[in-house]
Chain A
Amino acid sequence: MRVYVEGIGIKGVGFENWASTAAILTGQSDYAPSPVTITPTPLLPANERRRMVQTVKLSIQVGTEAFENAKRNPQDTATIFTSSGGDGETIHGILEALASTERDVSPTRFHNSVHNAPSGYWSIATKTHEPTTSLCIHDASFTGGLLEAAAQATVDDRAVGLISYDLPYPEPLHSVRPIGSTFAVSLILTPSPSEASFACLTISLEPPTPPTTMTDPRWEAIRVGNPSARSLPLLEALAKGAETTVSLENVAGNSVKIAVSRNVA
């Protein structure tokens, strides 16, 4: 499958947005591990904004950046949201309530607990009626999401926004599912080149091969610590504009190979 990259959005420790991240990954700027700043989207009315949880804010934030960079209207674009888990604070709150004698679950918390809360809020914020889905593939959530996005873009011949996000859980869930740090990434992919395209990805499913890693140990720690950050080797290749091949770990039994090229003719 061949798709073209029009825009990227990113949030991670020391990765504030795509422009500054690209400068860091190409060695033009120094890396400073500043904490992730998550801000609610101004696209939602105040009453909805108040109810937004961290996963919703973060995913909409990176999605918005990617669409802005791509100069593409989210209202006409299908989206795929992918994450290895739901909103940690929300799920912890519900589980605590259920373990108490009152068992009073807050209705807002319940609707925020569904895996597709970010995609639901996205459609409300961007006023889009286009298809959107929400996937979970545990540690391969980014990889599987990318495969789905490429299939949808090429088969349906339409632009697709991929939004992948994962945040650490609070305890006691953190101990059983340690996620190192907050990370989210969004890619706008199209089946044919456009004026905004800056890279071409040829994506295929391969027998299992070792995943491409990051040479800088600080970034490698982020990569292995967060399923969405498994995208970092691909993002590094995109930042460098190098003709290269990246291998991403997928579900047991296969890997996803991505040939990255600057050829967008």
Chain B
Amino acid sequence: MGSGLPATLSALEAGRSGLRHQTFAGGVDTWTGTIDGLDTVKLPAGLADFDCRNNRMAAVALQQDGFTDAVAAARQKYGAHRIGLFLGTSTSGIEQTELAYEQRDASGRLPPDFHYAETHNSFSVGRFAARLLDITGPAVVVSAACATTAKAFGNAARMIEAGIIDAAIVGGADTLCSTTIYGFHSLGLVSSNPCHPFDAARDGISIGEGAGFALVEKLPAQRPADAILLRGFGESSDAYHMSSPHPEGIGARMAMERALQSAKLSPADIDYINVHGTATLVGDAAEDRAVVEVFGRQTPCSSTKGYTGHTLGAAGIVETIISALAIQHNFIPGSVHTGKIDPALQSNFLTQGNSAPVNRVMSNSFGFGGSNCSLILERAC
């Protein structure tokens, strides 16, 4: 879809998917949301040890839309130690270790130029971003499967409310790697077509890569005109299965209900739901059931996975940003690639994007381990 907010918005408005056909050794025939140009990205001086696809993409994302300038202004305002970092990833820079395993020497040792802490370790992107942005407050990386970067907003909100910090960077990155391509393939969850969420013929996910970052601050007295409020969030656990969602969508329903409760809103207050909608048979059916139980059949819903692919640990931040764009531009994105909606699904699922007043959006992110999170965003003024 491209880098930055304007490119993202224009792809959503034009119904332009970023998915492309790709085959992998061993007969994995699928479509992916691969980001071009990452191979030639150079990390800033002094951060060479962090070089891996995941941190390259994080660096590219941080350089979009004047983000580093906004962080610099926040640093000036609050002090570097009063800004926290709450990032997420599912596989971090494990691709470096995949490559290093192929380069093991005769005695099985990894190559000497392999940097575990700076690439493979889940905290890699946290340490990298803290250095790049010159932030010295508390920093964590959340790794709770595909709900990761939605849940990170909760961590940031709590730490701000506890008075430990005044502002937070929330976001993260997840890049394509063999671990996820072959891992999801082994579970029979990868489609050989571009993923088509909520479609009668849906047959699995398209894996994508993505990164995004948001600057979260305490509510200022003067609200900037284009600011977005994090109005509420809800987290829950399925308590059902490690790699399969609860078929009745119990955890999904609880996350949505808790988000509404924390926002002190009723279902009718939500103008659009950006569903998790990964295009698996069971996942979409469970989420649809939960949405209908909480909202009824009227609230417009769509899945943007057909544009981006399932960006796994980055899905939360990518779709939070898409939800913010929906509010800022009064635009409900459609579900590209979805043809005939499954008649068994009852939510108001939109295949075509349309202009409509959008003041509040719910964004759903659900993942392995029954890890669920729903966020509610609102127009600030």
Q: B138 near A104 (CB under 8 angstroms)?
A: no
Q: A129 near B158 (CB under 8 angstroms)?
A: no
Q: Check if B67 is an interface residue, CB within 8 A of chain A.
A: no
Partner of B121, one of A85, A205, A251: A85
Partner of B187, one of A85, A86, A111: A111
Q: A148 near B369 (CB under 8 angstroms)?
A: no
Q: Which of B110-118, B286-294, B320-328 contacts A (4 or more CB under 8 A)?
A: B110-118
Q: Check if B236 is an interface residue, CB within 8 A of chain A.
A: yes
Residue of B nearest to A132 (CB): B237
Distance from B287 Cβ to chain A, minimum over Cβ atoms (Å): 16
Q: B368 near A98 (CB under 8 angstroms)?
A: no
Q: A151 near B238 (CB under 8 angstroms)?
A: no
B-side contacts of A94, CB under 8 Å: 179, 183
Q: B142 near A177 (CB under 8 angstroms)?
A: no
A-side contacts of B104, CB under 8 Å: 99, 172
A56 to B283, alpha carbons, bound, how many Å? 25
A150 to B239, alpha carbons, bound, how many Å? 24
Q: A98 near B141 (CB under 8 angstroms)?
A: no
Residue of A nearest to B162 (CB): A151
A-side contacts of B332, CB under 8 Å: none
Q: Check if B53 is an interface residue, CB within 8 A of chain A.
A: no
Contact residues on A (Cβ < 8 Å of other chain), bracket: 35 or more
Q: Check if B164 is an interface residue, CB within 8 A of chain A.
A: yes
B-side contacts of A148, CB under 8 Å: 140, 155, 158-159
Residue of B nearest to A119 (CB): B369
Q: B136 near A254 (CB under 8 angstroms)?
A: yes
Q: Check if B81 is an interface residue, CB within 8 A of chain A.
A: yes
Q: B81 near A129 (CB under 8 angstroms)?
A: no
Q: Check if A253 is an interface residue, CB within 8 A of chain B.
A: yes
Which residues of chain B from 219 to 250 have any CB-CB distance to chain A below 8 Å in the complex?
A: 235-243, 250
Which residues of chain B from 329 to 360 have any CB-CB distance to chain A below 8 Å in the complex?
A: none
A-side contacts of B135, CB under 8 Å: 253
Q: A103 near B140 (CB under 8 angstroms)?
A: no
What are the interface flags for B121-143 relative to A under an 8 Å C-beta threshold, 1 for contact and 0 otherwise?
11100110011000111111111
Q: Check if B145 is an interface residue, CB within 8 A of chain A.
A: yes
Contact A254/B110 with A95-B101, A111-B187, A120-B242 known, Cβ cut-off 8 Å: no
Distance from B116 Cβ to chain A, minimum over Cβ atoms (Å): 4
Which residues of chain B from 238 to 281 have any CB-CB distance to chain A below 8 Å in the complex?
A: 238-243, 250-251, 254
Q: B151 near A133 (CB under 8 angstroms)?
A: yes
Q: Check if B98 is an interface residue, CB within 8 A of chain A.
A: yes
Partner of B236, one of A112, A119, A131: A131
Partner of B238, one of A96, A129, A144, A251: A129
Q: Check if A106 is an interface residue, CB within 8 A of chain B.
A: yes
Q: A128 near B237 (CB under 8 angstroms)?
A: yes
Distance from B158 Cβ to chain A, minimum over Cβ atoms (Å): 5
Distance from A160 Cβ to chain B, minimum over Cβ atoms (Å): 11
A-side contacts of B186, CB under 8 Å: 104-107, 110
Q: B151 near A138 (CB under 8 angstroms)?
A: no
Q: B141 near A130 (CB under 8 angstroms)?
A: no
Which residues of chain A from 122 to 158 have any CB-CB distance to chain B below 8 Å in the complex?
A: 123-124, 126-138, 141, 144, 147-148, 150-152, 154-156
Q: B235 near A251 (CB under 8 angstroms)?
A: no
Q: A124 near B239 (CB under 8 angstroms)?
A: yes
A130 to B235, alpha carbons, bound, how many Å? 7
Distance from A189 Cβ to chain B, minimum over Cβ atoms (Å): 13
Q: Check if B25 is an interface residue, CB within 8 A of chain A.
A: yes
Which residues of chain B from 58 to 109 have any CB-CB distance to chain A below 8 Å in the complex?
A: 80-81, 90, 94, 97-98, 101-102, 104, 108-109
A110 to B303, alpha carbons, bound, how many Å? 25
Q: B143 near A250 (CB under 8 angstroms)?
A: no
Q: A205 near B138 (CB under 8 angstroms)?
A: yes
Contact A253/B81 with A98-B179, A107-B243, A129-B250 known, Cβ cut-off 8 Å: yes
B-side contacts of A127, CB under 8 Å: 239
Partner of A123, one of B90, B127, B178, B370: B370
Q: A156 near B98 (CB under 8 angstroms)?
A: no
A151 to B179, alpha carbons, bound, how many Å? 34
Q: B239 near A129 (CB under 8 angstroms)?
A: yes
Q: Check if B46 is an interface residue, CB within 8 A of chain A.
A: no
A233 to B371, alpha carbons, bound, how many Å? 32
Distance from B252 Cβ to chain A, minimum over Cβ atoms (Å): 11
B-side contacts of A151, CB under 8 Å: 155, 158-159, 161-162, 164
Q: A135 near B121 (CB under 8 angstroms)?
A: no
Distance from B243 Cβ to chain A, minimum over Cβ atoms (Å): 4
Q: Check if A46 is an interface residue, CB within 8 A of chain B.
A: no
A-side contacts of B81, CB under 8 Å: 205, 207, 253-254
A-side contacts of B143, CB under 8 Å: 114-116, 134-136
A91 to B157, alpha carbons, bound, how many Å? 32
Q: B108 near A114 (CB under 8 angstroms)?
A: no
A176 to B123, alpha carbons, bound, how many Å? 15
A162 to B103, alpha carbons, bound, how many Å? 38
Residue of B nearest to A206 (CB): B81
Distance from A206 Cβ to chain B, minimum over Cβ atoms (Å): 10
A-B pairs with lowest CB-CB distance, top 7: A120-B369, A253-B136, A110-B183, A115-B143, A131-B235, A136-B122, A123-B237
Can you list 22 residue pairs at the A/B interface with Cβ under 8 Å? Answer: A91-B94, A98-B98, A99-B98, A99-B102, A102-B26, A104-B182, A105-B179, A116-B145, A119-B369, A126-B239, A129-B236, A131-B154, A132-B237, A135-B143, A137-B123, A151-B158, A151-B159, A155-B158, A205-B137, A251-B126, A251-B139, A253-B80
| Apart from A113-B183, A123-B370, A148-B155: 18 A-B pairs, beta carbons within 8 A | A95-B179, A96-B101, A99-B102, A103-B182, A105-B185, A105-B186, A114-B368, A116-B144, A119-B369, A121-B242, A123-B238, A124-B239, A128-B239, A135-B143, A148-B159, A155-B161, A175-B109, A176-B114
* A residues neighboring B (CB under 8 Å): 1, 51, 84-86, 91, 94-99, 102-107, 110-117, 119-121, 123-124, 126-138, 141, 144, 147-148, 150-152, 154-156, 171-173, 175-177, 205, 207, 250-254
